[in-house]
Structure 1
Amino acid sequence: MAGIYFDELEVGQVFNHMQTRTITEMDNVLFTTMTHNPALLHLDEEYCRTQTEFGQRIVNSSFTLGLMVGISVGDTTLGVAVANLGWDEVRFPAPLFHGDTIRVETEVLELRESKSRPNAGIVTFRHRAYKQTGELVASCKRSGLQLKRPAETVA
């Protein structure tokens, strides 16, 4: 198990995730078509070259959000997550393009005991994704229900 139990986390703790990811054309087109998103911004190179300020297709922001959170899982919640409770304050301050590489950092913002589950607590993370230039391209707050370290049984 790679994740960290709820009671081992600290407010203000920051994870600089080692895993990075270069986004490919296939990632963007496959995700966009699998989710039935017909936006020309993700699929039509000619339209983007001639009709948009970007001059090329931009990466689907839903893919960016999923990738950002996914990269964080191995260090934070793998094997200890009970449930994802929600995403708030999702922002995309700059676009991503095919060939961009992202890195992610996660900060623990809040910890509180679960009222209904004594074996778990609610953690709020802030995830931030940066492209290879250091520019912030995505951020969100994510809340989840996370297991506490199991009580040791005495024989």
Structure 2
Amino acid sequence: MTKPRTLRCPRHLGMILAGVAIAALFGVVAVQKALDGAGAPAWAAGAASRPAGGAAATARTPLSHPGPMTTRTRALGDDFAAPIDDRYLEDYTAGTTYEYGHVTVDEAEIIEFARRFDPQPIHVDPGFAAAGPFKGIIASGWHTGSIMMRLFADHFLSRVASLASPGVDELRWPAPVRPGDTLRLRVAVLEVRPSRSKPDRGIVSTRAELLNQDDEVVLHTLPVNLLRRRTA
């Protein structure tokens, strides 16, 4: 039996990131009712008064076919020979690097995400943020992670062979994401190895980075994914 691990283990960051990414992609909203109380700041009251769903929330796109992003994204260079719906472990090669983009982030999107999932003033209150250390609104790191995950799922991760992920080995936000930033994903395949215990699958380890228009890395992580083999 696997022993329980504490939250100090870096892999748990991957679990948190995965949860936030899923919530961002498929519209799962959790707003604290306590924010309805008297004395709550304006941005908190705005979040609390927002309905937990809506007309649009009742019609969700099936998981196998995620809905379009605001900005259409594509490969920014060489891509896999195998399409994403016919891509298996054997199609991933250590030493290869791919780039996908672009996604432009605006202030309204940053505030909307943060109101739902990370309502710190630096993410939701322009006045507070302007006087703070970043001199303006910045995106939640979990918002940045969700953008990375969407590009990763739309372009890199197989839709037919992906089995699960045990987590990520590292997660860093070296620079903030600001309104107007245009982001792209760079993914390097670090290792591909068949499973010793289950011959029908294997493990792909990657380095994923999200970069802005100035080539600054705004997110760095090391995902690990389990993928089915084309032939056992």
Aligned length: 148
Deviation of 1:77 after TM superposition, in Å, equals 1.3
Is contact 2:107-2:137 (8 Å) kept? Answer: no
> In the TM superposition, what whole-angstrom CA distance separates every residue of 1:106-145 from its partner, at most 9, and x where no partner exists?
0001122223432211111110111011111111000011
Stretch moving more, 98-107 or 142-151? 142-151
Q: Deviations over 1:81-107 (max 9, x none)?
A: 111221121111111101111011100
Counterpart of 1:135 in structure 2 is: 216
Q: Secondary structure at the match of 2:225?
A: strand
- Which of 110, 114, 117 is equivalent to 1:28? 110
Q: Is there any run of 5+ residues in structure 1 with no aligned partner, and where?
A: none
CA distance in 1, matches of 2:144, 2:206: 17
Q: Give the helix-richer structure, 1 or 2.
A: 2
Alpha-carbon shift at residue 150 of structure 1 (Å): 4.4
Indicate conservation of the 8 Å contact 1:72/1:105, yes or no: no
Q: Percent identity?
A: 28
Measured against aligned partners, the alpha-carbon deviations of 1:34-76 in whole angstroms (never above 9, x if no partner) come to 22x22111011111112x1211111110111121122122332
The answer to whether the aligner puts 1:8 opposite 2:91 as a matched pair is yes
Contact 1:87 1:141 in 2 (8 A): yes
Q: TM-score, normalised by structure 2?
A: 0.60
**How far apart, CA to CA, are the structure 2 residues paired with 1:72 and 1:38?**
25
TM score, norm. by length of structure 1: 0.87
* Structure 2: runs of 5 or more not aligned: 1-82
Structure 2 residue 194 is the aligned partner of structure 1 residue 113: yes
- Matching of residue 40 in structure 1 with residue 121 in structure 2: yes
**C-alpha distance in 2 between matches for 1:109 and 1:117:** 21
Q: Secondary structure at the match of 2:175?
A: coil
3-state SS in 2 of match to 1:20: strand
